[in-house]
Structure 1
Amino acid sequence: MTATVPDASAQPAPLLGELDLYLLAEGRHRRLWRVLGANQRDEGVGFAVWAPGARAVRVVGAFNGWDGAAHAMRRAGDSGVWELYVPGVPGGCPYQYEIDGADGITRRKADPCARAAQPAPGTASLVHTSAHEWHDGAWLERRGGAAHERPMAIYEVHAGSWRHGLGYRDLARELPAYVKEMGFTHVELLPVAEHPFGGSWGYQITSYFAPTARLGSPDDFKYLIDALHQAGIGVILDWVPAHFPKDDWALARFDGGPLYEHPDPRRAEHPDWGTLEFDYGRPEVRNFLIANALYWLEEFHLDGLRVDAVASMLYLDYSRGPGGWTPNAHGGRENLDAVAFLRELNDTVHECVPGAVTIAEESTAWEGVTRPAGWGGLGFDLKWNMGWMHDTLAYLAEDPVNRQHHHDRMTFAMMYTYAEHHLLALSHDEVVHLKGSLLTKMHGSDRWRKFAQLRGYYAFMWTHPGKQLLFMGQEFAQPGEWWHDDGLDWDALTGDRPDAGLHRGVQRLVGDLNRVYRATPALWARDSDPGGFRWIDPDDNTRNVLSCIRYDHEGTPFVGVFNFSPVLHEDFTLALPHAGAWTESINTDARCYGGGGAGNLGTVRAVPIPRQGLPAHARIVLPPLAALLLAPRTEEFTR
C-alpha cells in the first residue's frame, strides 16, 4: 500500500492530557491502550509510544512510503511518551516506529500497544478500530461468584490446531457446539497474542495487545468469544507476563537500552527459555502489563486469565545457580517486585472486572497464592495443583502389582488441598516433548487395560476436591502426543480405526462426568471446605482401592469408589453414610464406555449396619480398573 504523504504540520491538541501523563508516570493508567498505540480520531490516527531513552522517534508506514522524514514525533512533556497525529491514515494500514536509540542505533520497532499486527514473517503493526457488536449481555450479567464455589470444568484449547486450518470464525461455528455437547463450563485458550514462532504455542509474545493474525482479525476473535458466551461457555485466556522474546523489532532494548527488561543482566535473562524478563519494579512496565490484562478482559469480554509461569516470577534464583542472581533487600530469594506486581494485578482485575477469574500456574509451595493480597497473599482465585497431577500420573504408570507401595500418591494431595483454592490440570504440558499422550502414560501394553485405567482416573479426578482441566484431545484419549502443526487425531473416533469404540467410550464418559458434575453441588460447592470431603477408606492399598464421600452445603452425600487393580471384586463391602438405595450415576466399566459391563445394574442398596465409622454399608460388585460414582436416591435419603 502506498499513498501521498499527508500534511502533518497542522497538529491538533496533544493526544495525551496532563492526567494521562501523570497516571502513566505513576504506573496507574489502567486503560493504557486508549492513549498509547494507534488510535483513530477524526479523519486520521493519533500515534503515541513510550520510549524515554530515544533521541528521536518517527512513525513510518504504508501511508508515507516507509519514509518518516515528514512524520517526526514530538515529546509529550517529560513523560517519555512520543506522539503525533497523522491525518488520512486508513484502517488496516501497516506501520512501525523508527527509533534513534540511546545507544546511537536506529531501529524499526513494532508498536507495543498495537491492537493488530501482521502475521509472521511480517513485523509491522496495523491500525485497527473494532466494529464488532456484542450479543453476550445475558452471559456477562450472570457470570460471577467465588470461583472455588462454582462448577468449573475447563477444556484447554490451542486455537490453531483444534481442527487444523480453522480460523476464529470457523471455530465459532464448531467449537461452542462441541464444548457444550461435552458439558465443559469453560474454554481456556493457549496464548493468542501475536507471536512470530508458532512452535512457542503463543508463549513468546511480540505484540501483547494484538490477537494473532494467523487465525483472523481482532474482530474475528471477538466473534469467537461472543459465540462461546452465547452458548453458555466461559472463556479464559492463557496470559504471559513472565517473559518476552529478544526479537530486535519488538520489546527488547526498545529505545536503545533496557526498558521493558530489567537493567541487571542477571535479572533480565530468562535462563530456561532464551527470553527476557520484565522489570516489575518499574512503574511504567507494571502499568503496561496490568493494562494489558484489563484490555483482554474488557475489550474482548474474557472471563478470566490463567497466568503462566508464576513460579519463575516469584524467585530471583529460579533456574539460576550460585553467582547467577542477587538477593533482595532483605537478603532473600523472593522477587519482591514481582510479588507486588502480582498483588496489584489481582486487586486491579477484581476491582475493574467483577466476575473475572485469575488462575496461577504456580509449581512450588509458595504460601498464600489464592489468599487475598490484603491478607498477605498473591490474590489469585485458583492455583493449578501440580503436585496432584505429578503424583497421580506417577501412580498410574506403576504396575498394579506395585501400586500398593505407592498408594499415598493418590491420597497425599488431601494433606494440603485446603491450603489453596485448587484446580486439577491435565494440561498441554503433559502431552508434549516426547512425554506421550495420557493414554500412553497408563501402565502396561494391553490396550483395553490402558483405556480402563484412564477412564477410572478421570472419574477419580472429577470426584477429587478442586476444579478440572483437560487439554483438547484428552477427552477422547488422543492416541499420540500433541503436535502444534497438526490437528487432533479426530480419525481415532471413526469406525474403521482400531480402538475407535474405546476412544468414543472415553469421549462419552467425559461428557457424562461433566453432566453429573454440574448437576451435583457436592462435587464443586465445597471444594475448599474440609467439611465437604471425607475418606471412607484411604488405606486399602493391598487391593489398590480408594473410596470417599463428597458433601454439598445441605449435607447431601455423593460417593466415589475406585479400583486401580485388574481384579474384579464381586462381593466388595462399601461403608456408606446412610441406608437405602443408591444410584450408580457413573460406572466407568459400563459397556457404553468401552468397559466389560460388570456392575450393579444401576442400583446399590445399603443396609443400616455400621462399617468404618459410617452407619450403613452395601455389598457391591466393584469392576476391575474402574470407578463407581454413587448418588443417594432422593426419596430414600433423610439427613
Structure 2
Amino acid sequence: MDAADRERLLSGTHHSPHSVLGAHPMPGGVAFRVFRPYALSVTVVSGDLRAELHDDGEGFFSGLLPLREVPVYRLGVAYEGAVVETEDPYRFLPALGDLDLHLIGEGRHEQLWRALGAEPMTHQGVAGTRFTVWAPNARGVSLAGTFNFWDGTGWPMRSLGSTGVWEVFAPGIGEGELYKFQITRPDGSKTLRADPLARRTEAPPNTSSIVDASHHEWTDGAWLARRGETPAHEAPFSVYEVHLASWRPGLTYRQLAEQLPAYVRDLGFTHVELMPVAEHPFGGSWGYQVTGFYAPTARLGTPDDFKYLVDALHRAGIGVLMDWVPAHFPRDDWALAEFDGRPLYEHEDPLRSAHPDWGTLEFDFGRREVRNFLVANAIYWCEEFHIDGLRVDAVASMLYLDYSREPGQWIPNEHGGRENLDAVAFLQEMNATVYRRVPGVVTIAEESTAWDGVTRATHHMGPGGFGGLGFGLKWNMGWMHDSLDYVSHEPVHRKYHHNEMTFSMVYAYSENYVLPISHDEVVHGKRSLVSKMPGDWWQQRADHRAYLGFMWAHPGKQLLFMGQEFAQGAEWSEAHGPDWWLLDPAYGAEADHRGVRDLVRDLNTVYRHTPALWQRDTDPAGFRWVVGDAADDNVFAFLRLDSEGTPLLAVSNFSPVVRHDYRLGVPDDIPAWHETLNTDAARYGGGDVTNPDPVKPDAVPWHGLPASIRLALPPLATVWLRPA
C-alpha cells in the first residue's frame, strides 16, 4: 500500500478507501488489502480457498493471490480470544445511485430520507445497511457503533463525487444496531456525531442513532381517502392540543393509543395537535429544541409505535396535526451544530446563525441542501407517519432579519429591507411541495405579526411584492391576546375594553385563521384559562364557559390545550400533566369540572353539525354583527350563516347580571328560534337561566334587521340559537 494512503487511512482522512482496500486485479493476480485495527490475523475465504494475508502492521493486512478475477469472498478475522468470519465492506460498489446524488446536489431530493441516513437493504446479494451522510467540509468520515466498539478507524466511508455525501455499505449490520459518524474536521480533530437523518434514536440522555426499518401495516386507508374531500378552511376543525409525554405521564405510544383516541372522540374534537414529537435532548423544551428531525422521540417507544398511535387516531376519525420546528436547533456538540467542523446547517454569518431568544442556532435557509433537509422532513412526517397537518412553530422569527435584534445586530437584505428572503423562499417551497405531494394535508403557521399573505397561495403576489407563503391556516395571535385581555378584567371595567372583542372582525378575512388557546397561554405565570378570569370560583367558571362559547362561535377554527377542557385551575406542568383528579366523582367534581368538560363536548357536537359555524369561516358573507357596540351591557351578538343562508345566532353576556327581555334584531324569515346551547345550563355548573321555549320574533325592526326577539341573557354566559 502506498505510504500516503496508509497515513490517510490511519488519520481518518481518506476520501476513497474502497479504491485502496478490498480486492483489486493487478498484474500477477488479485491484491487483497484489509484494514482491521486490533486484529491478530486476517484470512481470505472463498470456496475452498483459505489464504492468510501478511500482517503489515498497524492493523493493515495484504496479499497478492494468483487469481484471474476477483472472487466472491469473506474474511476470517482473528482477535484475541475470538475468530469471526465476515464480509468485507470494501468489496461492495456504492449503494447510492447517481439520480439520488444528482437530486441531493440540486437540493431537490423530496424523499431525502431514502438516500441519506441508515437504510437496511440487500446489496449485491448480501444483507446489511447502507450508511450515508452529508458532510462536505469533512476531511474524512468513518462509521462507528456497537459493532466496532465505537472506534471508526477501521470503517472509513467514501466520498461520492462533489456532493459532500459519504457512503459505506456495512454487511451483516441490521436493525437495532447503534451508530454514529466519526468526522475528521478541517483542522484534523475528530467529532462523533449522531445521524441527522436517523429515523430512530436512543432515549435521552443517550444520543446514539439506531438502525431502523418499519414493519407497521397501516389500516387507515379509508381515512386517507376522504380527508381531502373538503379543504380545511371550509370544514369543521376543532383541535385538542396535547403534550404526549404528560397527557397521561408514563404511558407509551401504544398505551396512549388505547386511551387518547377514545377521549378525544368522546369530546368531539376533529383533530389532535401534538406538541413536537421529533427527538429532543431536553424534555423541559417540550420538544421545541430538536436534534433528531427524522426520529419520533424514543421516550415513548419506537417509530412503529408512534405510527400505531397515529393509525389508532385515524381509525377513531381524528386527524393528527404535529408541531414542526424548522426555525432553530440546539447547539449540542453531538448533533447538528458545526456538524462537520464548520457551520453547515446554520448560517455561516454569526449575526444570522444565533437565535436571539432561545440560545439556539438558526438554519441557513439559503443553502439548497439545508432547505432540502427541511422540506423533505416536512414530507417525511406526512408520507411516512400519515400526519394530516404541520403547525409550523415560530414563523415570525424566520421571516424577519431583525427579529429580537437591535440595530447593528442585523444586516438588511439585498433590497434594503428587513425580510429574510431565504426564509420566505423556503416556506413557499415547503408549502407548495407538501400540498403537491400529500393530498389532504394542511399546514398551519404560528405567525405573530401582520405579514401579508401567510395563507395566500405562493403564486399570488401581494402588495408587498412577495408571493403568498402558501400556508393553509394561521394562528390568530391578535384575537387570542385581545380576547384574553378582555376577559381578565373585572366585568365593571370590561366596557372600556369592549373593542378588544370586536377588533378581530376588522381583519378576520385577511387570512384563514385558527383561534388558539395553546400551551403558551397557560404556563410561565400566565395562569390557566379559568384562573385568568376575575371574581370568585363560580364567576371564574362561568366566564370560562362563556368565553369558550364565544370562541366556538367566532369565525375561525378552534384550538384548546389539554386541561382547559375541564377548567384546570393550575398552570400546566410537563412533569405531571393535567390534574385528572379534578374529574374524580369522589372530589365532587360534577358541577365544577365535569360540567365544563360536558360543555366542551356539547360545543363540539353542535359545532360539527352546524355548517354555519365553519363552512364560511373565510367568507365575510358568513358573518353579520347584530350588536357589536353594547359596551355598557358587555353584550356581543352576531349571526353566522352557512352557504344556504341558514343562520346561528350567538349572544354573549360578559356581565354578572341577568338581562331580562333583551331585544336583539333578527332576520324576518325565521318563524321561531330555539336555544341550542347555553353555557349557564345547570348541567355545566351554571345558574340555569335559560330560554326553554321557542322564541318567536316580533315585527319590530332592531339593530338594522327587520325583526327582533327578546331573550333572557344569563350572567357571564353565551347562548346559541338556531331556527326552530
Which interval holds the TM-score relative to the shorter structure?
over 0.9
Q: Which runs of 5+ in 2 are unaligned?
A: 1-81, 461-466
1:537-566 Cα offsets, whole Å, 9 max, x none, are 000000100100000000001000100000
Letter in 2 for 1:249: W
The CA distance in 1 between the partners of 2:83 and 2:404, in whole Å, is: 51
Letter in 1 for 2:477: M
Counterparts of 1:366-381 in structure 2 under 5 Å?
366-375=451-460, 376-381=467-472
TM-superposed CA distance for 1:104, in Å, is 2.6
1:36 aligns with 2:116: yes
Pick one of 147, 152, 161 that aligns with 2:237: 152
1:350-396 Cα offsets, whole Å, 9 max, x none, are 00001110000000000000000101110000000000000000001
Counterparts of 1:511-530 in structure 2 under 5 Å?
511-530=601-620
Counterparts of 1:456-495 in structure 2 under 5 Å?
456-495=546-585
Helix, strand or coil at the partner of 1:390: helix
The CA distance in 2 between the partners of 1:11 and 1:212, in whole Å, is: 36
Helix, strand or coil at the partner of 1:373: coil
Pick one of 266, 280, 287 that aligns with 1:195: 280
* Residues 8, 85 of structure 1: 8 Å contact kept: no
Helix, strand or coil at the partner of 1:436: coil
1:105 aligns with 2:204: no
Aligned length: 631
TM-superposed CA distance for 1:609, in Å, is 2.6
Counterparts of 1:314-393 in structure 2 under 5 Å?
314-375=399-460, 376-393=467-484
Letter in 1 for 2:654: F
1:571 aligns with 2:656: no
The CA distance in 2 between the partners of 1:602 and 1:261, in whole Å, is: 64
1:457-503 Cα offsets, whole Å, 9 max, x none, are 00100010000000011111111000101121011112333655211
1:39-69 Cα offsets, whole Å, 9 max, x none, are 0011100000000000010011011221212
Counterparts of 1:17-96 in structure 2 under 5 Å?
17-42=97-122, 43-96=127-180
> Which residue pairs with 2:375 in the alignment?
290
TM-superposed CA distance for 1:610, in Å, is 1.8
> Which residue pairs with 1:619 in the alignment?
710
Letter in 2 for 1:234: G
Q: What TM-score do the two structures reach when normalised by structure 2?
A: 0.86
More deviation in 318-327 or 256-265? Answer: 318-327
> Which residue pairs with 2:72 in the alignment?
none
The CA distance in 2 between the partners of 1:537 and 1:5, in whole Å, is: 84
The CA distance in 2 between the partners of 1:4 and 1:305, in whole Å, is: 48
Helix, strand or coil at the partner of 1:63: helix
Pick one of 502, 506, 515 that aligns with 2:592: 502
Pick one of 294, 297, 316 that aligns with 1:212: 297
1:561 aligns with 2:678: no
The CA distance in 2 between the partners of 1:496 and 1:143, in whole Å, is: 41
1:115 aligns with 2:206: no
The CA distance in 2 between the partners of 1:166 and 1:452, in whole Å, is: 33
The CA distance in 2 between the partners of 1:50 and 1:58, in whole Å, is: 12
TM-superposed CA distance for 1:260, in Å, is 0.1
1:304 aligns with 2:394: no
> Which residue pairs with 1:637 in the alignment?
none
Structure 1 or 2, whichever has the larger Rg, is 2
* Residues 664, 703 of structure 2: 8 Å contact kept: no
1:124-166 Cα offsets, whole Å, 9 max, x none, are 0000000000000000000013211011000000000001111
Cα distance 1:9–1:499, how it changes in 2: closer, same or farther (>3 A)? closer
The CA distance in 1 between the partners of 2:342 and 2:374, in whole Å, is: 19
Letter in 2 for 1:608: A
Letter in 1 for 2:92: P
Helix, strand or coil at the partner of 1:130: coil
More deviation in 383-392 or 612-621? Answer: 612-621
Cα distance 1:499–1:180, how it changes in 2: closer, same or farther (>3 A)? closer
TM-superposed CA distance for 1:602, in Å, is 4.8
Helix, strand or coil at the partner of 1:45: strand
> Which residue pairs with 2:21 in the alignment?
none
1:73-125 Cα offsets, whole Å, 9 max, x none, are 00011110000000111211110000001233200000000100001111100
The CA distance in 2 between the partners of 1:372 and 1:8, in whole Å, is: 53
More deviation in 194-203 or 573-582? Answer: 573-582
The CA distance in 2 between the partners of 1:574 and 1:193, in whole Å, is: 51
Helix, strand or coil at the partner of 1:325: coil
* Residues 128, 171 of structure 2: 8 Å contact kept: yes
RMSD: 1.2
TM-superposed CA distance for 1:5, in Å, is 8.7
1:400 aligns with 2:509: no
* Residues 103, 257 of structure 1: 8 Å contact kept: no
* Residues 557, 577 of structure 1: 8 Å contact kept: no
> Which residue pairs with 2:224 in the alignment?
140
TM-superposed CA distance for 1:570, in Å, is 1.6
Q: What TM-score do the two structures reach when normalised by structure 1?
A: 0.97
> Which residue pairs with 2:502 in the alignment?
411
TM-superposed CA distance for 1:611, in Å, is 1.4
1:598 aligns with 2:689: yes
Pick one of 647, 660, 673 that aligns with 1:582: 673
Helix, strand or coil at the partner of 1:296: helix
Helix, strand or coil at the partner of 2:218: coil
Cα distance 1:621–1:165, how it changes in 2: closer, same or farther (>3 A)? same
